[in-house]
Amino acid sequence: MKLLYTLFIFLLINTVQAQQTITRDPFITGMLEEVSAANLEQSVRKLVSFHTRHTLSDTLSKTRGIGAARSWIKAEFERYNKDNGNKLQVQYDSFVQPADGRRILEPVVLKNVVAILPGTAPADKRMLMVCGHYDSRVTDVMNSKDFAPGANDDASGVAGVLELARIMSNETFQTTIVFVAMVGEEQGLYGAAHLAKKARDEGWDVHLLLNNDMIGNSYGMETDLKDNSRVRIFSEGVPAAETKEQASLRQATGGENDGNARQAARYIKETGEKYVDHLEVKLVYRKDRFLRGGDHTPFSAQGFTAVRITEMNEDFNRQHQDIRTENGFKFGDLPEYVDYTYLQKITRLNLAVLANLGLAPAPPQYPVLITSTLTNKTALKWTAPGGKAPAGYYILIRETTSPFWEKKFFVAETSAEIPYSKDNYLFGLQAVDAAGHESLIVVPKPGK
């Protein structure tokens, strides 16, 4: 009896602790409702209709090949622009990709398709970027002729980006949002590498890049796993572009799990699960799948915060496969195998993150963890960001062994002292406005 009673109290405490107050911004939920599975399916099927979107395929035909595909994507962005009050800047990001002796045998003109929704705060130079890749392939990566539908890889990602541009370009955000359909992913991430280098050379402030590559498959055939309620976020740990000073600070503070991409991944989990029903955002602490890469990789290499968003289960009978039937089984990345309501959920996840960040104040500036005296309390200070004024700040705390933030203290001032030792906990800081839009998380640096 006593044991049962103890168990009951234990369950009660745990239930109470598990309760969370969720307040969704009706403006954002309104946009989420606009994300249409039917539109997403239409875009995927249209992209498949170009027969192949291989990077080296035909550029002259109006109906087949990569040239027709990129014209259609550009025309779609232009259509949203016209319908939504001409706020989008639609353009090709064209460049000559030299031969690499491997997957590009002679120089070729490649074009990313870009639509920019300028932010309304001129002083706020931050850019939020979201991308998918529109090129496709079959088994032989050099085959530019055969039917390469690429419905899930990655018409799903491009369809998501188009739907986000359609909905978001009808609204205004203080931060600039950039929608991109990348080229050349399958040949060696060439479109993303070009755009990431251009962003670095031209001093763009890329605050976050969300790379959506394969976001529509909910069935893993080999393992017979059906999963339309989870999605993976891959984030790098030790930053690829880390300087010597950053490396020694990381080693001195145990910051190997607290790089910008990890913080962004935690942010995506919190925001996505707050706004999208029946979606668990699973964080994988690895820059991409085992030994693999994607269009976020060149952005990480240039020092930007970039993550990959991908379905929970990949289906290798569909990915990069020649379209064929063997022993009654149909191989190939065909549109009938895409789960469009799952794709809708992942598009909503992107929208929730972009909208929250697009409306949030910038993160706290010059965050310092004060180390002038030895104490078991932790004193923090920072400066208010320019642009939209925050209503206050969150101090985030977690155990050093915990993957996620565990406690969140609200303070209205730009300094605080809390009774948790910096020897035993990790700390982060966020700015938040009165409506609850939170900035990305910054880690305070030791200082005076």
Q: Give the residues lining the site for Zn ion (CB under 5 A).
A: 153-154, 213
Shortest Å, Cβ 137 to Zn ion? 9
Nearer to Zn ion, 338 or 397 (CB): 338
Nearer to Zn ion, 293 or 387 (CB): 293
Q: Is the dihedral of CA 317, 321, 326, 329 positive or negative?
A: positive
Shortest Å, Cβ 162 to Zn ion? 16
Shortest Å, Cβ 150 to Zn ion? 8
Shortest Å, Cβ 213 to Zn ion? 4
Q: What 3 state SS string does 373-397 have?
A: CCCCCEEEEEECCCCCCCCEEEEEE
Shortest Å, Cβ 159 to Zn ion? 13
Shortest Å, Cβ 234 to Zn ion? 13
Shortest Å, Cβ 333 to Zn ion? 10
Amino acid at 187: Q
Amino acid at 17: Q
Nearer to Zn ion, 153 or 227 (CB): 153
Strand 280-284 vs strand 230-234: parallel, antiparallel, or unpaired?
parallel
The region, left, alpha or beta by phi > 0 then psi within -120 to 50, assigned to residue 224 is left
- Of the candidates 340, 294, 356, the residue with the CA atom closest to the CA atom of residue 160: 340
Nearer to Zn ion, 131 or 281 (CB): 131
Q: Quick one: which H or E segment has residue 83?
A: helix 66-83
Is residue 82 packed enough to be buried (19+ CB in 10 Å), middle (13-18) or exposed (0-12)?
Answer: exposed
- Of the candidates 310, 320, 353, 95, the residue with the CA atom closest to the CA atom of residue 217: 310
Nearer to Zn ion, 35 or 155 (CB): 155
Strands of 276-404 (E only): list them. 280-284, 306-311, 324-326, 329-331, 365-370, 378-383, 392-399
Shortest Å, Cβ 103 to Zn ion? 14
- Of the candidates 202, 77, 198, the residue with the CA atom closest to the CA atom of residue 134: 77
Amino acid at 202: E
Shortest Å, Cβ 421 to Zn ion? 45
Angle between helices 156-168 and 340-359 (to 10 degrees): 40
Length of the chain: 448
Nearer to Zn ion, 125 or 289 (CB): 289
Nearer to Zn ion, 219 or 393 (CB): 219
Nearer to Zn ion, 153 or 163 (CB): 153
323/63 Cα distance (integer angstroms): 20
Nearer to Zn ion, 76 or 213 (CB): 213
